[in-house]
Amino acid sequence: MQQSDVERIRNDFEQAINEASSLSELELLRIKYLSRNGIITKLFDELKTISSEEKPAFGKLLNTLRSETTELFNTKKSVLETGKTSENHELDLTLPGKTVKLGSKHILSQTLFEIKSIFKGLGFSVYDGPELESDYYNFEALNFPPDHPARDMQDTFFVGEQFVLRTHTTPVQIRIMEKEQPPIRAIMPGRVYRNEAISSRSYCMFHQVDGIYVDTDVSFAELKGTLVSFAKQFYGDGLKYRFRPSFFPFTEPSAEMDITCYICMGKGCRVCKHSGWLEILGCGMVDPNVFKYVNYDSEKYTGYAFGMGIERIAMLKYGIDDIRIFFENDLRFLKQF
């Protein structure tokens, strides 16, 4: 008995198994090869006649033969019993298809998309600017004098002596006016950063959209008309609004715009601090001092500007009460939009 004999037996067995087309044929093969008196079982008897040096290797060969042939036999048996192979699953055409999960736009992206399309409809173009800003653009050119207390209105992340993570998108107004001559009508969305304690109402990073319109004879009435039109398209027609005097260094006069509190419909509740109103944005007429920084003739041109927090207006629209939830990426939240 040699190794080649073992291989021949294995090949014969495999060929016979492949050719077997019924369980009864298979049973005959089992008896011929694997039963107590089968060819393979009998081979083990020959171990007795083999020298003790060769015995371990030959024993191993026989064991492999037996386990491989048994496995071939079992596989074929189950194929004949069930009519299936691992590659040949029966097709069930009534099963539902596999859905491909596509994901969806984040609620902030959706909100920004809506804001952009409303302002585009009103004739505004969309601009971009850097998130790492110089002190000049973030403060100085916006009429925040050095050491002026107005700088404390916005808690700033300083980067070295001259740079800051921009605290608002308003500096992009300066960048646009430096490059272009009136008339300009632009909005500028983007990320902003504030070094504030994190809470349900404030986060260290959020998003704003600023807007500016400069031309000859731009009036406060136009500012109101544009913002009311925006608010009605964004929040719905039935809404009431008001403008309150306020202060920003880069606008004069300045105002804040409120809409009716959507929770109590103006009766007064915790969310609106019992005023019946919710602030949605800041705005005003561009301060002539700002025009000086960009070499616009303030005798010739006037302009209005406004700025709003995207999280804030989305929170008001959808009744979201914690700003942190926008950045947690919890699918239970994201899937609601």
Residues that bind ligand DAH (CB under 6 A): 168, 170, 210, 248, 251, 282-284, 305-307
Least distance between ligand DAH and beta carbon 105 (Å): 25
Least distance between ligand DAH and beta carbon 230 (Å): 14
Matching residue, tokens 């029966």? 90
Least distance between ligand DAH and beta carbon 115 (Å): 14
Least distance between ligand DAH and beta carbon 119 (Å): 13
Q: Where are the alpha helices (DSSP H) in 272-322?
A: 288-293, 310-318
Cβ neighbours, 10 Å, residue 146:
8
Q: How far apart are CA 333 and CA 322, in angstroms?
A: 12
Least distance between ligand DAH and beta carbon 308 (Å): 7
Residue placing its CB nearer to ligand DAH in the complex, 33 or 282: 282
Q: Residues 119, 124, 125, 129: what is their CA dihedral angle, to the nearest 10 degrees?
A: -80
Residue 50's Cβ-count burial label (10 Å; 0-12, 13-18, 19+) is middle
Least distance between ligand DAH and beta carbon 211 (Å): 7
Residue placing its CB nearer to ligand DAH in the complex, 62 or 204: 204
Nearest residue to the partner ligand DAH, using Cβ? 307
> Nearest 5 degrees, angle CA 56-CA 60-CA 64?
175
Residue placing its CB nearer to ligand DAH in the complex, 40 or 227: 227
Residue placing its CB nearer to ligand DAH in the complex, 77 or 194: 194
| Contacts of the segment 273-279: beta carbons below 8 A, 24+ positions apart | 277/242, 278/316
Least distance between ligand DAH and beta carbon 285 (Å): 8
The distance of Cα 330 from the centroid of its chain, to the nearest Å, equals: 10
Residue placing its CB nearer to ligand DAH in the complex, 69 or 208: 208
Residue placing its CB nearer to ligand DAH in the complex, 190 or 282: 282
Strands 157-159 and 132-134: unpaired
Residue placing its CB nearer to ligand DAH in the complex, 163 or 243: 243
Give the full edge-to-edge strand order of the sheet including 163-165.
132-134, 163-165, 157-159
Q: Residues 233, 234, 240, 246: what is their CA dihedral angle, to the nearest 10 degrees?
A: -120
